[in-house]
Amino acid sequence: MFLKREDHKLKVKKALGTFVKFLLFFLVWSSGISLVFSVYEKPPVIAHNDAMLRLYWEAAPLAMVVVCTVLAAYIDKKKITVTITKRPLRDTVLGLVFGIGWISSVVLILISLGGLTFDSSSRVSALPIWSLALFLNAAMQELLIRGYLFSMVRRAYNSTVAVIATTVLFLALHGGAFEVGLVAVLNVLTMSIFVSLLLLWTEGLWAPIVAHYIWNMVAGVVVNGIMLADDYPSMIQVSLHGASLLTGNAAKIEGSIVTLGINLILVGVTLFMLRRKHQS
């Protein structure tokens, strides 16, 4: 009985320690960003350049994640490492294949169902800068969610707990989905699970970053099919038609049941490949 009680205390202590470290990492990051933007939100040299200003707004949070990751690794005496990629070419190709397949499948299905039509197109100035800004945004999200925090929880427990814990945080950062409806919430949840499985399969963050970026770039800047920050431009204007279950309401295609179906397929594919890898 005494041993069981001691074992229970150790488990509680471990859980509390992991939770505190998880929470502190996020609070230090968010507090650092708030401090930076409160002091220097719009650098004068780029204050009137929308594209450069957005690039700065995406670069600063990413830089803060890197700082927090390095600091946390130092405190943990490098027991927890974050791997960007072990096989750059393979991970780039996988990220492109999954990202392009992901967004193109959703768009093509919506077009075939009559739920999406193209209205007009326009030239986007400074497109490379907007594209880089979105890439930094995807990198920031992946490094924040599936970087140190994922590795820390995985080391303390296992991959399943790490996926669950970081998915909860990912949902919290996309809280607007709860205002749109259940499908939008499920899309955020399944997207996080898919990208987490891709991370476990490739053993690095690069493929998830690329896939995440492709989704945001094509769905947000090439076509105005998802909700990005208001200042992001769109090359092609689209209209969504039909029932809200198909169109996604305010979340656009990220609230569509078509996206949920594709997300579930991607979860199935990456889970199959991960299990196959472990079996071999």
Q: What separation, in Å, do the N-terminal and C-terminal C-alpha atoms of the chain show?
A: 42
Collapsing DSSP states into helix, strand and coil, what is residue 208?
helix
Is position 62 within any domain? no
CA distances from 101 to 87, 212, 265, 266 (A): 21, 12, 11, 10
Per the CB < 8 A criterion, the answer to whether 191 and 73 are in contact is no
Is position 212 within any domain? yes
Per the CB < 8 A criterion, the answer to whether 227 and 114 are in contact is no
Is position 144 within any domain? yes
Is position 1 within any domain? no
- Would you write out the chain's pLDDT as a tens digit for each of its 280 residues? 555 666 767 788 888 988 999 999 999 999 999 999 999 899 989 989 999 999 999 999 999 999 999 999 888 877 788 999 999 999 999 999 999 999 999 999 999 999 999 998 889 899 999 999 999 999 999 999 999 999 999 999 999 999 999 999 999 988 888 888 899 999 999 999 999 999 999 999 999 999 999 999 999 999 988 888 889 999 999 999 888 899 888 889 999 999 999 999 999 999 999 999 888 7
Distance CA 129, CA 132 (A): 5
Is position 33 within any domain? no
Report how many helices (DSSP H) and strands (DSSP E) the chain contains, helices first.
Answer: 11, 2
**In total, how many domains does the chain have?**
1
Is position 129 within any domain? yes
Tokens 């690095």, residue located: 204
Rounded to 5°, angle at Cα 237 from 235 and 238: 135
Per the CB < 8 A criterion, the answer to whether 198 and 270 are in contact is yes
Query: What's this model's pTM, rounded to 2 decimal places?
Result: 0.94
Residue-range definition of the domain harbouring residue 189: 83-279
Is position 53 within any domain? no
Is position 66 within any domain? no
